């Protein structure tokens, strides 16, 4: 996991080669990386979808299996990082030796914190001008609040980077730059000019790991030299797994230096599935808490973390198995749908290739085929021992785009394509605008939607006409009001009649989502069978707020009283009455428009800082912090997304191309009144048509 371009894929390619998984190293910039198998990834040199593979590595006397997921760095594809960290037991946090801790490094670090994933740090690109291992370690401490402990030291830097000193074993790995050789290093004595530095760094490392191990600490004070490498490794492993220490390594993956030692460290310090505590969940039938040990003897349970479509084998469900075992050709139980699923085949994945296996067991990651209804976040288990595991949370799409097929005959194909893509990606949604009838696709950013449009063309053969990207605003109610609504229609025969009195307003809890519906109607004033229709009416109506037609995320309705007519009242009358009532009451409930606010970070040379800040302020930005990083200055700001379209081009102009920026979604906030008015004016036609409808 890492910021964009830190070198995750380049490092993964070395891992595949050194572990014998591939015969040749594929390079990202030549479009040859195995793990970046999508055409869009190869063309752009970026990772979009996380690719999984399994490799084997010999460490000391044993051979270990490592399941690897290479994740994207771009914030638009954050869903891939989120779901990967949910199921992985450990992470290699990769940093660029020049860029250090970048905005997306912080994001993925927080995601790993959220799922309590132990990690080791790998400072890549030591060959680049300005590379500085200790500066990056310092930034990890300062900016991420972690406890990085170097377990290697670089030998040389920039174009003189030759290898690393292994502080645990007190020896030097000198690499020769040959990418066709797996053992492209010799183990030598520590170079004389680095001996003092290495000895100090080693002492610091031992002191750090001994801090959490009393016996070792005693030995450290008595005779530090008597501490064996094995003792250091054992203590470091404990400290890494309990996340009190981040062992830090460095290398240059592109120049084929340092990766073998990184693999050794993955085995030595990151947890195996057996080191992870039993996983907790609850029984969907009884709501009782239950747990499963990472053992094949426990009942089967697995989490589906990704659904993907393969042109040859069809729908693939990626699962992480926590306990038990599942055979190909057998059944498992989906605790969300309460249905049994037949799993016809199971595959071990290698990027976009599949290797059929007969079963999958505790600790493993594999892909299943044959299921009817499995979605991201579902728990699959043994029907006799049902369990629901904690799912994952995904951010909401903030940017929308109207799309239509270039030729009308492609309409069905578009529907199928969008459906499949939305199934794969929980941060991508499709809806039809009630007013214009247009199909609106929404995602995490412009790049995300660009890739979706490209995939529609290549994978589903649909050429698209698209509108300009637009912000997904929301609406919120800020006051609770009472309203009385009557719906009456006298047609030829039987009429329609419904009458309701309700309170409408915001939910009490800030975390609430959806409709909170309370029914306090007394004495059957509204017959029980019509109450669900009232609820349905409100639920459907809140998709289009009363101000400008944007969705209301959460609201509370208390149905207090009403009337009905023996002949004319029916469920539909009550549903329409609720919808109409919502429109009028929502306007009284002090509605406001909410807009997505982004965390923006700009790294700029000092002399352009004034211009950068001035420009951000013009965009209604609020500067939230300033920092320096090497010679550059870092400006942090919170800026409405609507003001950030085309920012990259403007930034390039005002800084002569010397600044970089990144942004990610922060939260929704109320728009200022003047801006709100404009949004409402623009959407008046749209609302009118919803009302007429
Ligand atoms: N100089 C130098 N360049 C490197 C090194 N490692 C990777 N690169 C280059 O940096 C660029 C980005 O590398 P990737 O491996 O695609 O980085 P990534 O972190 O996988 O990128 P995303 O997945 O798109 O976030 C490529 O052009 C690599 O060739 C290194 O050690 N030294």
> What DSSP string runs through 559-611?
EEEEE--TTT--HHHHHHHHHHHHHHHHHHS-EEEEEEEEEEEEEE-GGGHHH
Alpha carbon 350 to its chain centroid, in Å, reads 21
Q: Is the minimum distance from the CB of 382 to ligand 1 under 6 angstroms?
A: no
Tell me the CATH number for domain 279-389: 2.40.30.10
- How far, in Å, from the CA of 104 to the mean position of ligand 1? 15
Q: Is the minimum distance from the CB of 14 to ligand 1 under 6 angstroms?
A: no
What band does 494 get if pLDDT is binned at 50, 70 and 90?
confident
Backbone angles phi, psi at 44, to 5 degrees: -100, -10
- Report the complex ipTM: 0.98
CA angle 271–275–277, rounded 5-degree value: 120
What band does 689 get if pLDDT is binned at 50, 70 and 90?
low
Given a cut of 70, whether residue 662 has pLDDT beyond it is: yes
The structure's pTM equals 0.82
What atom of ligand 1 comes closest to residue 126's alpha carbon?
A: 31
* 320 touches 305 (CB < 8 A): yes
Q: Is the minimum distance from the CB of 3 to ligand 1 under 6 angstroms?
A: no
What atom of ligand 1 comes closest to residue 41's alpha carbon?
A: 24
Percent of the chain with pLDDT over 70: 98
Distance CA 269, CA 261 (A): 12
Considering only residues 243 and 494, tell me which one the structure prediction assigns the higher pLDDT: 243
Output the pLDDT for position 197.
Answer: 95
Backbone angles phi, psi at 188, to 5 degrees: -135, 180
Residues annotated in the binding site for GTP, as ranges? 2-9, 70-74, 124-127
- Structure token pair of residue 684: 């008046």
Tell me the mean pLDDT in the region 442-449: 89
Tell me the CATH architecture of domain 476-589: 2-Layer Sandwich (3.30)
- 405-to-351, 411, 445, 461, 511 alpha-carbon distances in Å: 31, 6, 21, 10, 38
- How far, in Å, from the CA of 347 to the mean position of ligand 1? 29
Considering only residues 247 and 661, tell me which one the structure prediction assigns the higher pLDDT: 247
- How far, in Å, from the CA of 267 to the mean position of ligand 1? 24
What atom of ligand 1 comes closest to residue 46's alpha carbon?
A: 24
Tell me the mean pLDDT in the region 590-595: 94
Q: Read off the pLDDT of residues 311-344 as tens digits, 9 standing for 90 and up.
A: 788 888 999 999 999 999 999 999 999 999 999 9
Tell me the mean pLDDT in the region 525-543: 94
Q: Read off the pLDDT of residues 259-292 as tens digits, 9 standing for 90 and up.
A: 999 999 999 999 999 888 889 999 998 989 999 9
Residue ranges, comma separated, of all CATH 3.30.230.10 domains in the chain are: 476-589
Backbone angles phi, psi at 115, to 5 degrees: -100, 10
Residues forming a β-bridge with 558:
503, 518
Output the pLDDT for position 437.
Answer: 79
Nearest CA to ligand 1 atom 11: 5
Tell me the mean pLDDT in the region 377-386: 93
Given a cut of 90, whether residue 683 has pLDDT beyond it is: no
Of the listed ranges 175-189, 441-455, 677-691, the one predicted with least confidence: 677-691
Q: Read off the pLDDT of residues 124-161 as tens digits, 9 standing for 90 and up.
A: 999 999 999 999 999 999 989 999 999 999 999 899 99
Tell me the mean pLDDT in the region 188-200: 94
Q: Is the minimum distance from the CB of 127 to ligand 1 under 6 angstroms?
A: yes
Q: Read off the pLDDT of residues 598-622 as tens digits, 9 standing for 90 and up.
A: 999 998 989 999 999 999 999 999 9
Candidates 13, 17, 28, 74: which one to mutate for ligand 1, based on the most atoms within 8 Å of Cβ?
Answer: 28
Distance CA 361, CA 353 (A): 20
Considering only residues 297 and 309, tell me which one the structure prediction assigns the higher pLDDT: 297
Per CATH, which fold does 595-675 belong to? Alpha-Beta Plaits (3.30.70)
Q: Is the minimum distance from the CB of 49 to ligand 1 under 6 angstroms?
A: no
Per CATH, which fold does 74-103+113-269 belong to? Rossmann fold (3.40.50)
Residues annotated in the binding site, as ranges? 2-9, 70-74, 124-127
Residue ranges, comma separated, of all CATH 2.40.30.10 domains in the chain are: 279-389
H runs (alpha helix) in 115-184 = 133-144
Output the pLDDT for position 476.
Answer: 95
What band does 194 get if pLDDT is binned at 50, 70 and 90?
very high
What atom of ligand 1 comes closest to residue 251's alpha carbon?
A: 31
Given a cut of 50, whether residue 364 has pLDDT beyond it is: yes
Residue ranges, comma separated, of all CATH 3.30.70.870 domains in the chain are: 399-470
Of the listed ranges 12-26, 90-104, 252-266, 472-486, the one predicted with least confidence: 12-26
Nearest CA to ligand 1 atom 30: 125
Distance CA 371, CA 653 (A): 52
Given a cut of 60, whether residue 687 has pLDDT beyond it is: no
- 253-to-28, 86, 94 alpha-carbon distances in Å: 12, 26, 11
Per CATH, which fold does 399-470 belong to? Alpha-Beta Plaits (3.30.70)
Residue ranges, comma separated, of all CATH 3.40.50.300 domains in the chain are: 74-103+113-269
What band does 693 get if pLDDT is binned at 50, 70 and 90?
very low
Q: Is the minimum distance from the CB of 323 to ligand 1 under 6 angstroms?
A: no
What band does 656 get if pLDDT is binned at 50, 70 and 90?
confident
Nearest CA to ligand 1 atom 24: 46
Round the average pLDDT of the chain to a whole number and report it.
90
Q: What do you get for the CA distance between the two ends of the chain, in Å?
A: 49
* 661 touches 636 (CB < 8 A): no
What band does 435 get if pLDDT is binned at 50, 70 and 90?
low
Distance CA 178, CA 186 (A): 13
Distance CA 553, CA 539 (A): 10
Percent of the chain with pLDDT over 90: 57
For 83, the enclosing helix (H) or strand (E) is: helix 78-87
Residue ranges, comma separated, of all CATH 3.30.70.240 domains in the chain are: 595-675
Output the pLDDT for position 685.
Answer: 58
Candidates 2, 7, 50, 448: which one to mutate for ligand 1, based on the most atoms within 8 Å of Cβ?
Answer: 7
* 387 touches 292 (CB < 8 A): yes
Given a cut of 80, whether residue 484 has pLDDT beyond it is: yes
Given a cut of 60, whether residue 688 has pLDDT beyond it is: no
Distance CA 368, CA 356 (A): 10
Output the pLDDT for position 75.
Answer: 82
Tell me the mean pLDDT in the region 551-569: 93
- 398-to-306, 377, 430, 445, 641 alpha-carbon distances in Å: 21, 21, 12, 7, 8
């Amino acid at each position: 996991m890492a910021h964009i371009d830190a070198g995750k894929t380049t490092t993964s390619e070395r891992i595949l080669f050194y572990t014998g998984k591939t015969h040749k190293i594929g390079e990202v910039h030549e479009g040859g990386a195995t793990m970046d198998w999508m055409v869009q990834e190869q063309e752009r040199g970026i990772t979009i979808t996380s690719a999984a593979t399994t490799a084997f590595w010999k460490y000391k006397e044993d051979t270990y299996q490592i399941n690897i997921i290479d994740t994207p760095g771009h914030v638009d594809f954050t869903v891939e990082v989120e779901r990967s960290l949910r199921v992985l037991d450990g992470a290699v946090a990769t940093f660029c030796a020049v860029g250090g801790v970048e905005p997306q490094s912080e994001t993925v670090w927080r995601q790993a914190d959220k799922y309590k994933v132990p990690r080791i740090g790998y400072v890549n690109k030591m060959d680049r001008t300005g590379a500085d291992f200790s500066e990056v370690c310092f930034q990890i401490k300062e900016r991420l609040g972690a406890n990085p402990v170097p377990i290697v030291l670089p030998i040389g830097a920039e174009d003189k980077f030759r290898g690393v000193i292994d502080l645990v074993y007190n020896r030097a790995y000198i690499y020769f730059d040959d990418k066709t050789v797996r053992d492209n290093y010799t183990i030598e004595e520590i170079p004389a000019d680095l001996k003092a530095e290495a000895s100090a760094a080693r002492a610091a490392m031992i002191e750090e790991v001994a801090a959490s191990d009393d016996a070792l600490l005693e030995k450290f004070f008595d005779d530090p030299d008597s501490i064996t490498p094995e003792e250091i490794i054992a203590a470091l492993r404990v400290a890494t797994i309990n996340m009190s220490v981040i062992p830090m390594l460095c290398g240059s993956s592109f120049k084929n230096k340092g990766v073998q030692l990184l693999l050794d460290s993955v085995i030595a310090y990151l947890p195996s599935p057996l080191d992870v505590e039993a996983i907790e969940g609850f029984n969907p039938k009884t709501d009782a808490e239950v747990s499963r040990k990472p053992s094949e003897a426990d009942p089967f349970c697995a989490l589906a973390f990704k659904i993907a479509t393969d042109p040859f084998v069809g729908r693939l469900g990626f699962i992480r198995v926590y306990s038990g075992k599942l055979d190909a050709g057998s059944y498992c139980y989906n605790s969300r749908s309460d249905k049994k699923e037949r799993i016809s085949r199971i595959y071990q994945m290698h990027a976009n290739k599949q290797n059929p296996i007969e079963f999958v067991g505790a600790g493993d990651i594999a892909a299943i085929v044959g299921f009817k209804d499995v979605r991201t976040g579902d728990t699959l288990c043994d029907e006799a021992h049902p369990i629901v595991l904690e799912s994952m949370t995904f951010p909401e799409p903030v940017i929308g785009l109207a799309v239509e097929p270039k030729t009308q005959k492609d309409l069905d194909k578009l529907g199928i394509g969008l459906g499949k893509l939305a199934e794969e990606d929980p941060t991508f949604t499709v809806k039809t605008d009630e007013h214009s009838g247009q199909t609106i696709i929404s995602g995490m950013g412009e790049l995300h939607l660009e890739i979706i449009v490209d995939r529609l063309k290549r994978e589903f053969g649909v050429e698209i006409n698209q509108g300009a990207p637009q912000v997904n605003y929301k609406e919120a109610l800020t006051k609770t009001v009472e309203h009385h609504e009557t719906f009456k229609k006298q047609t030829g025969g039987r009429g329609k009649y419904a009458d309701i009195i309700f309170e409408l307003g915001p939910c009490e809890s800030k975390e609430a989502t959806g409709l909170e519906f309370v029914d306090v109607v007394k004495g059957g004033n509204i017959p029980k069978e019509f109450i669900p229709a009232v609820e349905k009416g409100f639920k459907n109506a809140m998709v289009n707020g009363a101000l400008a037609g944007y969705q209301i995320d959460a609201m509370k309705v208390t149905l207090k009283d009403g009337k009905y007519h023996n002949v004319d009242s029916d469920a539909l009358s009550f549903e329409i009455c609720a919808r109409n009532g919502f429109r009028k009451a929502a306007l009284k409930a002090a509605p406001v428009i909410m807009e997505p606010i982004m965390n923006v970070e700009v790294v700029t040379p000092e002399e352009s800082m004034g211009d950068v800040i001035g420009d951000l302020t013009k965009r209604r930005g609020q500067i939230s912090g300033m920092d320096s990083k090497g010679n550059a200055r870092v400006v942090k700001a919170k800026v409405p997304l609507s003001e950030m379209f085309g920012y990259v081009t403007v930034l390039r102009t005002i800084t002569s191309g010397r600044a970089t920026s990144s942004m990610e979604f922060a939260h929704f906030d109320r728009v200022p009144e003047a801006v709100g008015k404009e949004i409402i004016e623009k959407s008046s036609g749209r609302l009118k048509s919803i009302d007429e409808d």
